[in-house]
Amino acid sequence: MVVGNPGPGIVGVRATPAFTPTPNNEPMGALTGAPVRTTLRSYQIIPASAVGQGGREATLIVPPTASNRVAILLAPLVAFRIYIGGSGVTPQTGFALPQGQPYETILPGLQEIYAVTDAPIYLALQVQVAPILYAEQQRKVG
């Protein structure tokens, strides 16, 4: 149970009563010194018909990192689809993103996402990735 209000403007802080010093009171990234930041990118998604030709692979849209993340993907509102999945994603094995609507997924550490499209040309995909605290894995118990 979370008790108390850590106050405005403090990110990633939780007060734990009955502990001195209070564990879990550091902002995310305090142990590594890495700042917590959201990344915003636009990718040109490779057509599925071009995958495998000339050594091409599906487009890596969310690289693997140790942190747990939330990824929000926005596919264009067109007649063709963008499919996401593992490194061998195809339109037959991938998950089709909703067209023109944001799709949110939670990624544990070291998971990656690839994308292909069934369009005959490259399609743009907007990707926002933000680190999160997931199941208390990144908290330090003092």
For the segment 60-81, what is each residue's pLDDT rounded down to a tens digit? Answer: 999 998 778 899 999 999 999 9
Check residue 23 and give its pLDDT. Answer: 53
Residue 86 belongs to some domain of the structure? yes
Check residue 73 and give its pLDDT. Answer: 98
- CATH code for position 70: 2.60.120
Strand, coil or helix: what is 5? coil
Percent of the chain past pLDDT 70, that is, above it, reads: 68
Tokens at residue 44, please? 């040109």
Q: How confident is the model at residue 7 (pLDDT cuts 50, 70, 90)?
A: very low
Choose between 35 and 16: higher pLDDT.
Answer: 35
Q: Is the domain of 99 the same as that of 59?
A: yes
Check residue 137 and give its pLDDT. Answer: 45
Q: Is the domain of 49 the same as that of 9?
A: no
Residue 140 belongs to some domain of the structure? no
Q: Which long-range contacts (CB under 8 A, 24 or more apart) does 35-39 make?
A: 36/11, 36/12, 36/131, 37/131, 38/128, 38/129, 38/130, 39/127, 39/128, 39/129, 39/130
Residue 90 belongs to some domain of the structure? yes
Q: How many domains does the chain have?
A: 2
Residue 14 belongs to some domain of the structure? yes
Check residue 15 and give its pLDDT. Answer: 54
Check residue 108 and give its pLDDT. Answer: 86
Q: Is the domain of 28 the same as that of 70?
A: no
Q: Is the domain of 56 the same as that of 120?
A: yes
Domain that holds residue 15: 1-34
Q: Are 73 and 84 in contact (CB under 8 A)?
A: yes
pLDDT at 93 over 60: yes
Could you check whether the bond before residue 21 is cis, i.e. omega within 30 degrees of 0?
Answer: yes
Residue 137 belongs to some domain of the structure? no
pLDDT at 2 over 60: no
